[in-house]
A and B are shown apart, each in its own frame.
Chain A
Amino acid sequence: MKGEADSAVDRSKAKDGPAGGSETGGEKGDTPTRWIGTRPVRPDGVDKVTGRARFGADVHLPNMLVGKVLRSPHAHARIRSIDASAASALPGVKAVITRDDFEDRPSEFVPAGEMLVNYRDMVRNVMAREKALYEGHAVAAVAAVNERIARQALSMIRVAYEPLAHVIDVDEAMAPDAPLVHEDLITAGVEPPPTAPSNIAKRIEFVHGDVSKGFAAADIVVERSFRTCPVHQGYIEPHACVASFSEDGQADLWCSTQGHFVVRGHCAKLLGMEVSKLRVIASEIGGGFGGKTVVYLEPLALMLSRKSGHPVKMAMTREEIFRATGPAPGTHIRVKVGMRNDGRIVAGEAELKYQAGAFQGSPVQAGCMCAFAPYDIEHVKVIGHDVVVNRPKAAAYRAPGAPQSEFAVESVIDEMARKIGMDPLQLRLANAAKEGVKAAYGPTFGPIGLVETLEAARDHPHYRAPLAPGQGRGIASGFWFNIGGQTCATLNLGEDGTVALVAGTPDIGGSRASLCLQAAETLGVDATRIRPRIGDTATLGYTFLTGGSRTTFASGMAVIEAANDMIRQLRKRAAMIWDIDADAVRWVDGEARPAGANAGEFTPLSLAEIAGSAGKTGGPIVGRAQINAQGAGPGFGTHLVDVDVDRETGRVSILRYTVIQDAGRAVHPDYVEGQLQGGAVQGIGWALNEEYIYDDRGRLQNPGFLDYRIPVCSDVPMIDTVIVEVPNPSHPYGVRGVGETPIVPPMAAIANAINDALGIRFTDLPISPPKVLKSLREIG
């Protein structure tokens, strides 16, 4: 079987089942654990295979209306007028909304949770105001008794557009004579500020050392230009929500989101509500990858519900998702690297131009910061441009900003290794960032695992396996910051000793399992006795969204702290029952024990026993935590890939793929591996086949899964994984986020492998069959 690779996983610290007991209460990662590192079935595993799991579109309320959106057919057009009178008069139509229903907001970046948000832009993105800024931009919405009438009503809304010249290419958008997406946009980050508006929203610069000095010391310098296409997150579940206003002005909103607290904040702002009047309930979420961290339908559904007095359900079609929701930005990147003949990298320079879409805020800053992050380089200069174009506003997609810039840098590093005849892995080892190195973007790294992933790659059988003639092997490393942030968790002890775990981060890939395991480990009880739930916005304090690879880390820390809070109470209750001092009670293996002989002779009290008598010892026992998690450990990974290229059609086949990543500590190794495999496969799609194709009028030509080709089963081998564990000292068990880093290396790893096979350096993504065939013909 082609590309069938060994499925064995080198994971020295993982165990297959509960191991021996240990004193608990939040210890460091190198002590033996009973639950951390095991692979039990996840709490929602059965729900997922039986169809019982309820996603955004599965919520149904009595008298519910269907909401649909009218979208701009133009990439760029002034909206002269909107006449919805005929639509409003259609029987069965209960509400029509347009720009007039939303109050304008000032243009300023204000904090919203962990983010800075410009509500002037957001109110325009959810509903076009002066202009439609991309094909698919929402212009009006209706709520009707059924979908047929809603669609009919949309067709009766008269919009007078004045089509304008559009621009979708990042370089064309930066040209002085480009059509202006916003007539009042003045480039930030330039001193003195320009007097004329442009499409360049922001210029940023990261410098350390002196690159001119660096390049002067270099024996060889390679400079290359790269282009990447926008790619969509491609979650299989379409955006969907149900909004229900009650007469007292309060509302409930069910939606598929990565962060319902964030949704609450945005919607309350756009609707002019107090946040306490809006309760947001996160449904199960059918994939997000960053794309469900923003609001599209939710404010519209709320407005339609407020106006109609009925609950309103809205769901996007796949076509709407492609036309109107955020892709990762397309980019144009120039990278220049200087190296000495001994393989030491002495200077790195890059200029990044990122498509922000219709509103500023591309992840170009992260792209700048990540570009050279895997390397210890003395002289670095990175300049970034955030450029608005007539495309949907870019949204986060797994390590937002990093895959593009690291693709460029990792491609150049590979080329340099070939130039000096050095093994590209050894070259990376020789320059790898490690603890104590000042990162190219500023801070000094604590314990990190890049070197360990490179060593694991070097020692992996994949690295030495023979290749057939014509095949190629590539390697690339990748970095992502990972984040922590504001997080709450509650553990409610039931009277039978079971525990209801309430977290505020929607579970997108198995985090309920990893939170349960951390709670079980800390409490010393069986993980099956803990039932996790994602609480709504009324049941928990503000909790930032699932993103930044933060959930297992930050919600994990909150859960551990909540468990320790509960343990303190449990010890107190045991002390009360035994009539001794609380300090004389230890909590070991899920039970209270006297701390030593001096404390007295008592039969240990189990969690269930203390829970059963809680009413007599002071009432309910609830462990709580509200934290602002700090110290997220940076994530590094190294990927190995073998490819074969069909010389007759240009098709690249992935024969073998190995992902090696530092997880700090793998709480549930299967879900860590799942993140590594899934990220790698998304990267394979990004590298080889996923692209947005526009016509000359700025209209998307491939808004569906048939022509936007995400990988299917036959496109990928069984992805191998190796989890490296360099514990993160900030987390009690050593956890680092793992979700984003794995999408960073694949594009360069694959381009490097193709170069190894063909001797052709591809700098533009995707490396699709036509491009490969064309290059093959050009070199004869």
Chain B
Amino acid sequence: MRNHIRFIRKGQIVELSDVSPTETLLDYLRLRERSCGTKEGCAEGDCGACTVAVGRLRAGRIVYEPINSCIALLGMMDGLEIVTVDDLAPSDEHLHPVQSALVSAHASQCGFCTPGFVMSLFALYHSRQRADRSLVNDWLAGNLCRCTGYRPIADAALAACTGEPDDAFSRRSAKTHALLESLIDDHDIRIGDDESFFAAPASEDALVSLLERHKDATIVGGATDVGLWITKQLRSLPQIVHTGRVASMHEVIVDDDRIEIGGAVTYAEAEAALARIDPDIEELLRRLGSKQVRSLGTIGGNIANGSPIGDSPPWLIVLGAQVELRRGDARRRLPLEDFFIDYGRQDRALGEILLRIVVPRPAANEHFRCYKISKRFDQDISAVLGAFLFRIEKGRVVHARMALGGMAAIPKRAFHVEGALVGCEIDDPDARARAMDLAAKEWERDFSPIDDHRASAAYRLQVSHSLLTKALNEVADRPTSDMRLIDRRDLHRIEIGDLNNSHDSHPNAMDPGSPR
């Protein structure tokens, strides 16, 4: 048991034993360290002014990821290197390459957002990718600038991020590597007393037994939601149990027929594996929150807190995902679609932990599509998220699954609509139109969208119909429009050569030349 956390700052190991459970990393930096370069613009993880980079070892290499320090808990920083804007330049004459590029491009007007942009670009710089505009958009989706219109910032990113990091951090990577390795241990962390504590157990058993004793404790994955309970809702959360140190919950297993994602795996960690299922999932994940959110946010957390507007449940449900839960020694597995009971209510007991998610991969004759509809392309909550899977035999839909997010109190399957689709001759436009007519009649038995500030019920209904039409037409290889709802369906960004499993039947899916 450790009663302190350790992390790396400016090449040194920092040990802290006074960590309040809900203290944010930003407060630590600004109030305790007085490193005021990092800014607070919203305290909600939306604007990115507070972006810092965290370094960690992944597959034996140091990886830097941008995070929103305003909603990250200080306790979660155990074992990481924290890099802030104040750390990059030893002197004005030796600015970091991304800093120099930003200065030369005149990319600051007021400069308040600049520290966050510097750190997002620092992480991009270390990603070893050569930046193009599309990559820059992805990496900057979580940073708002109201002055510049982004052009000079994008110019600076393109100039600096050449794919070959050569800076003080890359030059001292061996030392940092050794320091990061020295921080790895299998001790449970517990700071505080029984009333108020931050805990980060290192094993599943320790986690489970801690939660048996403290059933009301708040379980935290990446804190991208819980962080807002603290900073925005001002909730008092005296007992925090962080899942991030449980080794077994960090596994990602890729098998021929399924992918298993540990309950503490972040979106960033799962992206590559999940992208193998389908390019639409890769696209969707690219638009889920921002880099900062995906660096900390966990898929397990997204499911476990049961938000009706989470971006992952619909497509996981359609793929037939199961969740594995544990409380004490009792383990159980259930289909994800049964996990959501009602608004804010999940089939999870107090103190029960979501261990992993098992995602079956579609068979060769199963065709998957998913689309995200939001008012803003990046960094927005879905108005509607549609996921579809059609099993097609001899040109006929023999099995259909469809789930929509944003259309009911919980993400749920559309059993009645699905029934109306079975039997549809997929290549016959008239048959598809008839199936749509049948499906439309069933729609309101499955869905009851609400009017709220994100979208009206009418818009949600209208768009959800369009999505099904689009999915059917696309599976029939008749794209309805040049522009995809979630960008164009292309595969060239997938790095792993794993494309032949389920997509070789879609010529339209194989257009590496299509622009993004």
A contacts, CB < 8 Å to B: 1-2, 4, 7, 39, 41-42, 44-55, 57-58, 60, 151, 233-238, 284-289, 315, 317-319, 508-510, 644, 646-649, 651, 653, 670-671, 674, 677-682, 689, 693, 701-702, 704-707, 709-716, 718-719, 768-770, 773-774, 777
Contacts and interface: CB of A to CB of B under 8 A. Distances in A.
The 10 lowest CB-CB distance pairs between A and B, nearest first, are A51-B37, A286-B112, A48-B111, A677-B149, A681-B149, A705-B46, A701-B453, A51-B85, A714-B137, A48-B108
B99 A49 contact: yes
B111 A677 contact: no
B151 A719 contact: yes
Contacts, number: 248
A693 B453 contact: yes
Nearest to A506: B110
Instruction: Please classify the interface of chain A as helix (H, G, I), strand (E, B), loop, or mixed, using the class held by over half of its residues.
Output: loop
Instruction: Please classify the interface of chain B as helix (H, G, I), strand (E, B), loop, or mixed, using the class held by over half of its residues.
Output: loop
B95 to A, nearest CB: 7
B43 A317 contact: yes
B213 interface: no
B85 to A, nearest CB: 4
B134 interface: yes
A677 B39 contact: no
Given A50-B85, A234-B146, A678-B147, 9 more contacts: A1-B134, A41-B104, A49-B115, A52-B37, A677-B149, A706-B381, A709-B375, A709-B380, A777-B462
Q: Which of B112, B149, B455 has the most CB of A within 10 A?
A: B149
Contacts of A709: 375-376, 380
Interface string B316-331: 0000000000000000
A2 B380 contact: no
Q: Which of B46, B106, B378 has the most CB of A within 10 A?
A: B106
A284 B115 CA distance: 14
B435 interface: no
Interface in B143-165: 143-155
Interface stretch (B264-272, B404-412, B478-486): B478-486
B95 A49 contact: yes
Nearest to B454: A707
Interface string B348-360: 0000000000000
B144 A1 contact: no
A689 B42 contact: no
Contacts of A237: 39, 41, 49, 110, 112
A52 B118 CA distance: 13
B113 interface: yes
B37 A50 contact: yes
Nearest to B133: A1
Contacts of B376: 689, 709, 711-712, 715
B193 interface: no
B110 A508 contact: yes
Contacts of A284: 110-112
Nearest to A680: B149
Contact of A712 (B41, B141, B481): B141
A2 B488 CA distance: 11
Contacts of B138: 714
A236 B41 contact: yes
Given A1-B133, A689-B375, A706 B39 contact: no
Contact of A707 (B106, B151, B381, B456): B381
B113 A714 contact: no
Contact of A318 (B36, B41, B151): B41
A139 B42 CA distance: 23
B145 A706 contact: no
A701 B452 contact: yes
A713 B140 contact: yes
A194 B36 CA distance: 55
B302 interface: no
17 contacts: A46-B99, A48-B111, A236-B39, A317-B43, A318-B41, A319-B232, A644-B483, A646-B483, A647-B481, A670-B152, A705-B42, A705-B46, A712-B150, A714-B377, A768-B375, A769-B459, A770-B459
Contact of B145 (A236, A704, A777): A236
Interface string B41-67: 111101101000000000000000000
Contacts of A670: 106, 152
A584 B100 CA distance: 46
Interface in B81-121: 84-86, 88-89, 92, 95, 99, 102-104, 106, 108-115, 118
Nearest to B88: A50
Size category of the binding interface on chain B: 35 or more
Nearest to B289: A706
Contacts of B381: 706-707
Nearest to B100: A49
A572 B322 CA distance: 88
A651 to B, nearest CB: 8
Contacts of A39: 106
A234 B153 CA distance: 18
B516 interface: yes
Contacts of A715: 376-378
B34 interface: yes
Nearest to A692: B453
Nearest to A718: B151
B109 A678 contact: yes
A535 to B, nearest CB: 19
B234 interface: yes
B49 A236 contact: yes
A284 B110 CA distance: 8
A733 B51 CA distance: 41
A49 B41 contact: no
B150 A681 contact: yes
B149 A719 contact: yes
B503 interface: no
A45 B481 contact: no
A58 B36 contact: yes
B463 A649 contact: yes
B141 A714 contact: yes
Contacts of A677: 148-149, 151-152
Nearest to A232: B146
A648 B480 contact: yes
Nearest to A233: B146
Contacts of A680: 149
A317 B146 CA distance: 17
Contacts of B104: 41
B481 A648 contact: yes
A236 B132 contact: no
B6 to A, nearest CB: 24
B92 A236 contact: no
Contacts of A711: 150, 376
A287 B34 contact: no
B38 interface: yes
Contacts of A774: 458-459, 462
B373 interface: yes
B90 to A, nearest CB: 10
A42 B39 CA distance: 21
B25 interface: no
